[in-house]
A and B are shown apart, each in its own frame.
Chain A
Amino acid sequence: ADNAAASVDTSAWKCAYCEFDQGVTATVTGGFGVVSKDSFKFGEYSGLREQGIYVIGDAVADYRNVDNASYWDISALNLGLDTRSLDMAGGKQGLYRIFLSYDELPHYISDSARTPFRGNGGARLTLPADWVTAGSTADMSALNNDLKDVDLETKRTRLGLGVMVAPATQWETSLKFRQETSEGQRQIAGSFYFNAAELVMPVEYTTNLLDAAVNYHGKSWQAKLAYHGSTFNNQNNSLIWPNPYTPMVAGADQGELALPPDNQFHQLVAALTLGFGDSSKLMADVAFSRLTQDANFLSATRNANVSVAGLPDDSLQGRVDGTNANVKWRSELSDKFRINAAYQYYDRDNKTPRRSFDWVITDVNVAAPRTNLPYSYRRNTFKLNADYDIASSLKTAVGYDYEQYKRTYQEVEQSQERTVWASLVSRSLDNADITMKYAHAEREKHGYQVVAGIDVPENPLLRKYNMADRDRDTLGLRMDVAASAQSTFGLAVDVAKDDYPNSSIGLVSSQESHLGIDVTTQVTKRTSTSIFLSHENIDSDVAGSQMYNVADWNGSLDDSFDSAGIGLNHIVMRDKFDVGVDYVYTTSRGRITYAEGGADSQLPEASTRLNSAKLYGNYRLSQALVLNGSYWYERYTSTDWAFDGVSESTVSNNLGLGQEAPSYRENVFLLAVRYKL
């Protein structure tokens, strides 16, 4: 048939009806929007954080040349907001492509914080000259006078450029560079023993990423060789702050927090896919990486009155070598029966030298020397599974997975998990697809030893849940029904249940469940709707022992999340006027109940509620001009026991930022015209 296709004479196939783009086409959107109130939470990632008028500006332009396959595309979005982005790409189709991208992403974290510290956003904080230290926040007499608002926010700016070249049909090469800067200020905290202060740390990060790849595909095989590199640079290596409390020892009047140090990561990847006839395929890849970090150490303390031995070295000489390898075999033994086998290997080999450090507890006193624990781990995974098609409309699969972890300097040196699973996909019913998957997994550890050298040691009955014995059952069900040509119905159920049978302290059980329903309907030729409903629950139990013995308390956590949405679009006049509404409602609840000594106590519920409605309309004024108008109402309320009623001085030994759980009511009006050039 291939030969037949190749010999077809298409010289007369003019494609006269084809409306190929030739030359430049462009669409420009301009207008304005009005936001009713300031709110960081509303504008968290959208940039609509301030009351006032915003400029709406989008521009999309393309150039096509059907004679020589050259092209370029430009897309500039949100030009009037600090979420603006620009994407430009061009080249000659089938030969090369060059691209340039720019993107801004703000994260408005909190607009309700206040602090007496000055110099926020910098690497050295100060207190006002009139500051009066005290043993507790309530006695800090200058606090109320010295409090000033401080916004917690960061902004990422991403610049990307690259080129892709296909020198021949079978070859693809690419070189991509991305620089990402993150600037702003976030929350951190520092303490002198139990006297804590919430602080503002500077964020001035630059990450450079370079990716290069060469890919070849022959008739029955493909290969890829790639490099991925990342360098991270932080303009600030520490945050120094003055102790707002009366120092508990002489000289403990300032502290210094280490900020993330510069690092480098380099990785080489090779991948190969081999086909053996039409029925078998081998896929393999291997990646070698090296991560290094060698920033100069800070001093062990800023307290000149504390005498501490010198550091064993000027820097960490940190190095982690990574090896990742995967081999997968797929064989089609018949039209109905396929076997898949896979082996995966990952090794994090932390080659950072171990050394003993004389150190100082919170700039107050010298502690017993500690030796660092450069964690390594190795994971081996085997997977074997088979697909069997009972009929074209009924497919089954069964599988067995084995995963082994080996860790260093942790409580469990080795653990393994065995999973068996089965799945079924049915299209036996008219217009209905049903997919089910069930899996049962058992993880067991070899021994559990409290890590030596850590003072104070963990309770020996504690079992850290990522290493503990665990029985896990998961069930997934999805049903998609095409009730008619105009209506679809979807149902999704997911349940995951974890038991930690040999954990008496720590996480002992958890259960997650999710129910989702989707309905789409073409009500009339001109009216379409989509509806979704979702309910999710996450329950877990944690046991503890305040007597450093067997469990004497239990904490039950119950988190739930509900969401619902409806979208409706109506074409009032075809190709002329359409209107619509998108409504979303969500609510979340988090409850913690403690059982201790036969009595229960409950923390107040932490909750959020969102009501969001967008009304929109598009009216075509002429062939080239469309008027867009929309109104967006959003109401958000939240309660959070960690912040509600907690001022900067509510806690006697925590000088807080006094943040509040966010709430807002926003009205946004947008009016714009879209003009097609």
Chain B
Amino acid sequence: AEDEVAVKPFYTPKGADTCLKCHDEDSALPVYAISKTKHAQPADGRTPFAGLQCEACHGPGAEHAVFVQPGEKQAPIGTFGKNGSMTVSQQNQVCLDCHRGQERLAWQSSAHERNGVVCVSCHQIHIAHDPVLATRSQPDVCYQCHSKARSEFLKPSKHPVRAGKMACGDCHQVHGSETAALLKQPTVNDTCYTCHAEKRGPLLWEHAPVTEDCRICHFAHGSVQPTLLKKRAPVLCQQCHSQFGHPSIPRSASGLPGNNPSVFLLSGNCTNCHAQVHGSNHPSGAKLMR
């Protein structure tokens, strides 16, 4: 009760109208556009603007709203972001108090949480359309920290992120997941299968690495090699196959055009014959040739 008496008077007398007097479009921190967002929906009792408006998130602001003379410092208020006045956990708790939905179940101790990422590191809540929620603009938000991913999506073979047809969130559960690399599905392969279901199998003649982890042969983002492969075949295949005969022979420049053009080196090389590298359901497909 003592706290209540102490805190209550420090809310502003007019809520957002007090704040917006200063934080207009010409200010250093313009926030007008928040009224275009779903946070600003008075008829939805869950939203800030159905209650304490700006102060629902930023905390009591009466002191901060006191007019000061030029050169004087404004009294502080709860602010967000990397250099915000609130700690990382305080900032995130403000958001999590309402946004504890399905996908944030595993936020605590997730990679982003442990590395001090705050919600507003990625989300912009004071503008009408948050870029991280749109497929076209989401990757640029992620690249701010994951610059290697931007480079990977520029490679000659890649998923269509640069073309604006895929976003990081199509595969990754950025709010926390127990899967490697914060994937949305319980395993790497399950994540890939959501778009590449033809490779689920199970097949009569399985190719063992395919059933275990697509990343044994493929990069997920992009590659300098065709079809997102980690290495160029036939060497890719020779990492794991060295039977007596043609699999174990080094395929050097002698197999190029002008010398003795080799089926083991050119075009699809190994897959010229063993085309069913993802497995075969053909009774005679034991060598992945049918």
Interface membership of A474, Cβ < 8 A? no
Set of chain A residues within 8 Å of B287, measured between Cβ atoms: 361
Interface size of A in residues (CB-CB distance below 8 Å) = 192
**Does A548 contact B52, Cβ atoms closer than 8 Å?**
no
Asked whether A230 and B193 contact (CB < 8 A) given A94-B46, A466-B213, the answer is yes
CB distance from B135 to the nearest CB of A (A): 8
Set of chain B residues within 8 Å of A561, measured between Cβ atoms: 151, 155, 224
Q: Chain A interface mostly helix, strand, loop or mixed?
A: strand
**B246-290: contact bitstring with A at CB < 8 Å (1 yes, 0 no)?**
001110111011100111011111011101101011111111011
Interface membership of B245, Cβ < 8 A? yes
**Does A340 contact B49, Cβ atoms closer than 8 Å?**
no
Name, among B4, B147, B244, B280, the residue most crowded by chain A CB atoms within 10 Å (CB to CB).
B147
**In the complex, A217→B257 CA distance in Å?**
66
**Does B263 contact A263, Cβ atoms closer than 8 Å?**
no
Interface membership of B29, Cβ < 8 A? no
CB distance from B131 to the nearest CB of A (A): 14
**Does B238 contact A542, Cβ atoms closer than 8 Å?**
yes
Q: A29-37, A297-305, A617-625, A668-676: which one contacts chain B? A: A297-305
**A652-666: contact bitstring with B at CB < 8 Å (1 yes, 0 no)?**
111011010000000
**In the complex, A103→B231 CA distance in Å?**
32
Set of chain A residues within 8 Å of B197, measured between Cβ atoms: 205, 207, 230, 232, 263, 265
Q: Chain B interface mostly helix, strand, loop or mixed?
A: loop
Set of chain A residues within 8 Å of B46, measured between Cβ atoms: 94, 169
Set of chain A residues within 8 Å of B126, measured between Cβ atoms: none
**Does B282 contact A258, Cβ atoms closer than 8 Å?**
yes
Interface membership of A215, Cβ < 8 A? yes
Set of chain B residues within 8 Å of A224, measured between Cβ atoms: 102, 105
Which of A156, A257, A265 meets B290, CB within 8 Å? Answer: A257
Q: Which chain B residue has the least Cβ–Cβ distance from A230? A: B197
Set of chain B residues within 8 Å of A348, measured between Cβ atoms: 211-212
**In the complex, A375→B208 CA distance in Å?**
7
Set of chain A residues within 8 Å of B105, measured between Cβ atoms: 215, 222, 224, 271, 273, 283, 285
CB distance from B56 to the nearest CB of A (A): 8
Asked whether A478 and B145 contact (CB < 8 A) given A13-B15, A344-B178, A505-B242, the answer is yes
**Does B204 contact A291, Cβ atoms closer than 8 Å?**
no
**Does B272 contact A196, Cβ atoms closer than 8 Å?**
yes
**Does A94 contact B245, Cβ atoms closer than 8 Å?**
no
CB distance from A396 to the nearest CB of B (A): 12
**Does B151 contact A563, Cβ atoms closer than 8 Å?**
yes
Interface membership of A127, Cβ < 8 A? no
Set of chain A residues within 8 Å of B49, measured between Cβ atoms: 15, 18
Set of chain A residues within 8 Å of B106, measured between Cβ atoms: 271, 273, 283, 285, 328
Asked whether A586 and B154 contact (CB < 8 A) given A215-B101, A642-B267, the answer is yes
Interface membership of A540, Cβ < 8 A? yes
**In the complex, A387→B102 CA distance in Å?**
26
Asked whether A490 and B186 contact (CB < 8 A) given A1-B3, A17-B17, the answer is no
**Does A557 contact B147, Cβ atoms closer than 8 Å?**
no
Interface membership of A14, Cβ < 8 A? yes
**Does A4 contact B7, Cβ atoms closer than 8 Å?**
yes
Interface membership of A248, Cβ < 8 A? no
Interface size of B in residues (CB-CB distance below 8 Å) = 127
Which of A15, A592, A651 meets B261, CB within 8 Å? Answer: A651
**Does B252 contact A590, Cβ atoms closer than 8 Å?**
no
**Does A258 contact B263, Cβ atoms closer than 8 Å?**
no
Asked whether A8 and B256 contact (CB < 8 A) given A196-B263, A273-B106, A374-B206, the answer is no
**Does B200 contact A265, Cβ atoms closer than 8 Å?**
yes
Set of chain B residues within 8 Å of A213, measured between Cβ atoms: 102
Interface membership of A390, Cβ < 8 A? no
Set of chain A residues within 8 Å of B40, measured between Cβ atoms: 18, 20
**Does A20 contact B35, Cβ atoms closer than 8 Å?**
yes
**Does A536 contact B148, Cβ atoms closer than 8 Å?**
yes
Asked whether A435 and B115 contact (CB < 8 A) given A516-B147, A608-B224, the answer is yes
**Does B275 contact A291, Cβ atoms closer than 8 Å?**
no
Q: A118-126, A140-148, A438-446, A451-459: which one contacts chain B? A: A451-459
**Does A466 contact B53, Cβ atoms closer than 8 Å?**
no
**Does A654 contact B267, Cβ atoms closer than 8 Å?**
yes
Which of A222, A265, A373, A602 meets B193, CB within 8 Å? Answer: A265
Set of chain B residues within 8 Å of A64, measured between Cβ atoms: 41
Interface membership of A415, Cβ < 8 A? no
**Does A189 contact B240, Cβ atoms closer than 8 Å?**
no
**Does B261 contact A652, Cβ atoms closer than 8 Å?**
yes
CB distance from B85 to the nearest CB of A (A): 13
**Does B235 contact A548, Cβ atoms closer than 8 Å?**
no
Which of A190, A311, A601, A642 meets B265, CB within 8 Å? Answer: A642
**Does A15 contact B42, Cβ atoms closer than 8 Å?**
yes
Instruction: Give residues of chain B (213-240) contacting chain A, Cβ–Cβ below 8 Å.
Output: 213, 216, 224-225, 230-232, 235, 238-240
**Does A466 contact B198, Cβ atoms closer than 8 Å?**
no
Set of chain B residues within 8 Å of A14, measured between Cβ atoms: 14, 17
Set of chain A residues within 8 Å of B232, measured between Cβ atoms: 557, 590, 592, 606, 642
Set of chain A residues within 8 Å of B254, measured between Cβ atoms: 601
CB distance from A50 to the nearest CB of B (A): 16
**In the complex, A297→B70 CA distance in Å?**
84
Interface membership of A69, Cβ < 8 A? yes
Interface membership of B90, Cβ < 8 A? no
Q: Which chain A residue has the least Cβ–Cβ distance from B205? A: A372
**Does B256 contact A387, Cβ atoms closer than 8 Å?**
no
Name, among A8, A319, A462, the residue most crowded by chain B CB atoms within 10 Å (CB to CB).
A8
**Does A557 contact B201, Cβ atoms closer than 8 Å?**
no
Interface membership of B64, Cβ < 8 A? no
**Does B249 contact A546, Cβ atoms closer than 8 Å?**
yes
**Does B155 contact A645, Cβ atoms closer than 8 Å?**
no
Interface membership of B202, Cβ < 8 A? yes
Instruction: Give residues of chain B (1-51) contacting chain A, Cβ–Cβ below 8 Å.
Output: 3-4, 6-8, 11, 13-17, 20-21, 32, 35-36, 38, 40-47, 49, 51
**Does A638 contact B156, Cβ atoms closer than 8 Å?**
yes
Q: Which chain A residue has the least Cβ–Cβ distance from B246? A: A194
Asked whether A189 and B42 contact (CB < 8 A) given A373-B206, A494-B148, the answer is no
Interface membership of B68, Cβ < 8 A? no
**In the complex, A435→B242 CA distance in Å?**
42
Asked whether A544 and B250 contact (CB < 8 A) given A234-B198, A462-B242, A590-B224, the answer is yes
Instruction: Give residues of chain A (24-81) contacting chain B, Cβ–Cβ below 8 Å.
Output: 44-46, 64-69, 71
CB distance from A388 to the nearest CB of B (A): 12
Interface membership of A90, Cβ < 8 A? no
**In the complex, A464→B239 CA distance in Å?**
7
Interface membership of A434, Cβ < 8 A? no
Asked whether A516 and B238 contact (CB < 8 A) given A189-B273, A281-B108, A604-B253, the answer is no
Interface membership of B194, Cβ < 8 A? yes
**In the complex, A615→B276 CA distance in Å?**
45
CB distance from B129 to the nearest CB of A (A): 9
User: Which 5 A-B pairs have CB atoms at the shortest separation, nearest pair first?
Assistant: A13-B15, A45-B160, A258-B282, A260-B198, A45-B163
Q: List 14 A-B contacts (CB under 8 A).
A: A18-B20, A18-B35, A172-B102, A258-B281, A260-B281, A466-B209, A507-B239, A532-B150, A534-B148, A536-B151, A548-B243, A604-B253, A642-B265, A652-B261
Q: Which residues of B contact A (CB under 8 A)?
A: 3-4, 6-8, 11, 13-17, 20-21, 32, 35-36, 38, 40-47, 49, 51-53, 56, 82, 87, 100-102, 105-106, 108-109, 114-116, 144-145, 147-148, 150-151, 154-156, 160, 162-165, 178, 185-187, 190, 193-195, 197-206, 208-209, 211-213, 216, 224-225, 230-232, 235, 238-245, 248-250, 252-254, 256-258, 261-263, 265-269, 271-273, 275-276, 278, 280-287, 289-290
